[in-house]
Copies of this chain bind each other. A is one copy, B any other.
Amino acid sequence: MTKRNVTKLTTVASNPKPTGSDTDRLVDELRRRIVTNEMPPGSRIRENELAEEFGVSRSRVRDAFGILEERGLIERIPNKGAVVMRLEADSFLELFDVREVLEGLMVRLATQNTEPEYWNDLIELFGDDLEKAVSENDFNAYMAAIAQFRKGCIEAAGSDTLRGLLDDIYDRVLSMTRRLMLVPGRASEGFRQHQGILQAMKEGDAEKAEGLKRDNIRSARQWFLKYNDFLL
Q: Convert A177-189 into 0s and 1s, putting 1 for each residue whose CB lies closer than 8 angstroms to a CB of B.
A: 0000000000000
- Residues of B contacting A105 in the complex (Cβ-Cβ under 8 angstroms): 97-98, 100-101
Say yes or no for A102: interface residue by CB 8 A criterion: yes
Q: Mark A62-80, 1 if CB is under 8 A from B, else 0.
A: 0100110011100000100
Q: Mark A108-141, 1 if CB is under 8 A from B, else 0.
A: 0100000000000000000000000000000000
- Asked if A57 is at the interface of the complex by the 8 Å CB criterion, the answer is no
Query: In the complex, what distance in Å separates the CA atom of A104 from the CA atom of B210?
Result: 15
A21 within 8 A of B: yes
Q: Is the CB of B94 within 8 A of A160?
A: yes
| A144: chain B residues within 8 A (beta carbon) | none
Taking CB atoms, residues of chain B closer than 8 Å to A5 are: none
Residue of B78, B100, B159, B165 touching A165 (CB-CB under 8 A):
B165
0/1 string, A19-39, CB within 8 A of B gives 1: 001000000000000000000
> How many Å lie between the Cα of A94 and that of B161 in the bound state?
6
Complex Cα distance, B67 from A63, in Å, reads 10
Q: Are A98 and B165 in contact (CB under 8 A)?
A: yes
A1 to chain B, nearest CB (A): 11
Residue in B21, B78, B91, B161 whose CB lies within 8 Å of A161: B91
> In whole angstroms, how far apart are the Cα atoms of A87 and B109 in the complex?
21
Is the Cβ of A78 less than 8 Å from the Cβ of B162?
A: no
List residues of chain B with CB within 8 A of the CB of A174. none
Q: Is the CB of B162 within 8 A of A94?
A: yes
Closest 5 CB pairs of A and B: A101-B101, A94-B161, A70-B70, A94-B159, A101-B105
A-B contact pairs, 26 of them (CB 8 A): A21-B78, A63-B63, A63-B66, A66-B67, A66-B70, A67-B70, A70-B70, A70-B71, A72-B164, A91-B160, A94-B159, A94-B161, A94-B162, A95-B161, A97-B109, A97-B159, A97-B161, A97-B162, A98-B105, A98-B161, A98-B162, A98-B165, A101-B101, A101-B104, A102-B102, A165-B165
